[in-house]
Structure 1
Amino acid sequence: MSKTNPHAPSELKTIGFTPFIYCSNQPLFHVTRDVPLGDALAMASDFLFLAKELTRDAAFNRDTDRHIWAAHYLTAMSKAVVDDAMKVLQRPVRTKAESEVERPESN
């Protein structure tokens, strides 16, 4: 049995609570649970890079709004991933003593 620290940065994973892109006041998508945080944040960085490039292109190409809508959705996805990561990082950390306390059995 290997002992890992669930609070080590390499062990942190998304919790999947963060919705994005709403239709009729209901979230159409959510961040997926249990993705390693480093991988999720790397993907958010890629999304933001693409959004930045699309907004730059949109500034020069005023014939269509397709660039700006693509950038809008990429930034919405990026924000959701970063928000989900922040929820993981801001969770109260349980101490070893708290983890080892057994719950009383109910009768």
Structure 2
Amino acid sequence: LPPLTLTESLLFRLIGAGFVLLTFTLLTGALFVGDLFGQHLIHKTVLSIIAWLVFGALLFGRWRYGWRGRRAVNLTLVGMGVLLLAFFGTKAVLELILHRTA
């Protein structure tokens, strides 16, 4: 297995690349979405922005304060969980919370 420091640096490089791509996605999505409320995209947008903030805080904390270990792993898992909910949670939000059929 590779050394843990190499794995950690690779993790943060991947999170940094994903943060750049998520930023680009949010910016281009804001340009091309016609009606955010009419297309039932508000919950995806809000959850994606929350994930963007979590990953941004993680990267800033790593850069400024040297966050490692448990704190970095927990923030990574929280960010991934929010992104998964944004991606797969459309049906749950529409049917369970808003009581609409897709």
Q: Name the TM tier (shorter chain).
A: 0.3 to 0.5
Pick the structure with more strand per residue.
1
TM-score scaled by structure 2? 0.45
Structure whose CA Rg is larger: 1
Pick the structure with more helix per residue.
2
TM-score scaled by structure 1? 0.44
